[in-house]
């Protein structure tokens, strides 16, 4: 496997769940990891679990200025960004006729617009160095729609389409852009009505998604896995 020792990785949504698991996995592999989320105490707990090896950078990825500031800070303190993992996400669910404009904007800004902003900002440096890995965390909800999840699915379908298109734009520069679409995962999305009655023990663990990230960042230079659909062995 290709080593990522001393590579600089930025992980959004690193305060808990899938983002935390990915950050810890990359840290264990020897990367210099910048942890990004809004909740400082959660980020500090992730840093503690990493053995103090990760850097805490609080930021709201829905805001362009904060995205630029956090990426500048990561670059200035750790070095140019080699790996960007966009794992920040929010799940707000409900019928379309009852869905508010504010909730719509929160879901789209967090799940999709933040990815556009972070990718756009790191790409010039990656292109100049002819290398880089960008991994966007979507969902099975980015492949199949379901009732009460229209806005959430729209955001995740958008992540899949954005990732596929960006991958074609930058692959000639040695940059790999991939999307991971996990199925039911045991995280904090407890308000999702589609998860009621599901057995948590049968769900994916956040670490399962982190293992998929490990596979992507340790590919040999001439290989390119563009999409991973990850499902539990048994239906929860």
Q: 190 falls in which pLDDT band (50, 70, 90)?
A: very low
43-49 average pLDDT score? 97
Is residue 82 within 8 Å of 57, Cβ to Cβ? no
152 classed as catalytic:
yes
Q: How far apart are CA 145 and CA 154, in angstroms?
A: 8
* Number of domains present in the structure of the chain: 1
**236 falls within a domain:** no
The yes-or-no verdict on residue 44 having pLDDT over 60 is yes
Q: List Cβ neighbours of 150 (8 Å cut-off, separation of 6 or more).
A: 96, 99
pTM: 0.94
Question: By residue range, what is the domain housing residue 138?
Answer: 8-230
CATH number, domain with residue 163: 3.40.50.720
**235 falls within a domain:** no
Tens of pLDDT along 81-115? Answer: 999 999 999 999 999 999 999 999 999 999 999 99
Q: How far apart are CA 38 and CA 106, in angstroms?
A: 14
Tens of pLDDT along 194-222? Answer: 666 678 888 999 999 999 999 999 999 89
Q: 189 falls in which pLDDT band (50, 70, 90)?
A: low
Provide long-range contacts, Cβ within 8 A and 24+ apart, for 103-108: 103/151, 104/151, 106/62, 107/151, 107/152, 107/155, 108/151, 108/154, 108/155, 108/158
Which is the catalytic residue, given 93, 121, 152, 157? 152
Residue with tokens 């999702």: 192
Question: In percent, how much of the chain has pLDDT > 70?
Answer: 96
């Amino acid at each position: 496997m290709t080593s990522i020792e001393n590579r600089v990785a930025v992980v959004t949504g690193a305060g808990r769940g899938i983002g935390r698991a990915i950050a810890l996995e990359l840290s264990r592999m020897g990367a210099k990891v910048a942890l990004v989320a809004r909740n400082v105490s959660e980020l500090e707990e992730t840093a503690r679990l990493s053995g103090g090896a990760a850097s805490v950078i609080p930021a709201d990825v829905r805001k362009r200025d904060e995205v630029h500031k956090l990426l500048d800070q990561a670059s200035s303190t750790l070095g140019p960004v080699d790996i960007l993992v966009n794992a920040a996400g929010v799940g707000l669910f409900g019928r379309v006729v009852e869905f508010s404009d504010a909730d719509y904007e929160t879901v789209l800004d967090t799940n999709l617009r933040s990815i556009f902003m972070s990718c756009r900002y790191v790409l010039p440096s990656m292109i100049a160095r002819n290398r880089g890995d960008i991994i966007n965390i979507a969902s099975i909800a980015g492949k199949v729609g379901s009732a009460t999840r229209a806005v959430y699915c729209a955001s995740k379908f958008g992540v899949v389409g954005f990732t596929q298109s960006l991958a074609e734009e930058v692959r000639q520069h040695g940059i790999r852009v991939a999307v991971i679409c996990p199925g039911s995962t045991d995280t904090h999305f407890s308000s999702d009505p589609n998860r009621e009655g599901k057995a948590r023990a049968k769900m994916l663990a956040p670490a399962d998604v982190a293992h998929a990230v490990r596979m992507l960042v340790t590919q040999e230079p001439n290989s390119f896995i563009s999409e991973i659909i990850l499902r539990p062995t048994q239906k929860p």
